[in-house]
Amino acid sequence: MAFCKKCGAEISEQASECPRCGAAQTPQTADNGGFLWGLLGFCIPLVGLILFLVWKDTKPRTSKAAGMGALVSVICGVLFYVLMFVIGIGAAML
């Protein structure tokens, strides 16, 4: 069984519209998360952010993977620059 996206009533998974409120039901798309979407988000953070924003309602698991990849990439980049700044200051003091 599934639930109506508008009113929350329990409906059949094959129903094209809700018998209670008449709202059209969109077919479910495959949403398996996927390591490769996370890897794409890590390699190209802007693409990961865009995919997260586009898929957050229709494919929540896949969008989370792409968004987490982008977030991890940005955090690693910031940590890298902070480390290089600290090493640069340390080398300049010698």
51-89 pLDDT, tens digit per residue, is 999 999 888 899 999 999 999 999 999 999 999 999 998
Q: Residue 27 in 3-state DSSP?
A: coil
- For the cut 80, the answer to whether the pLDDT of residue 9 exceeds it is yes
Q: Residue 3 in 3-state DSSP?
A: strand
Task: Name the residue type at position 30.
Answer: A
Q: Is residue 47 within 8 Å of residue 18, measured between CB atoms?
A: no
Neighbours of 57 (CB within 10 A): 9
- pTM > 0.95: yes or no: no
CA distance 63 to 65: 5
Across the chain, mean pLDDT equals 89
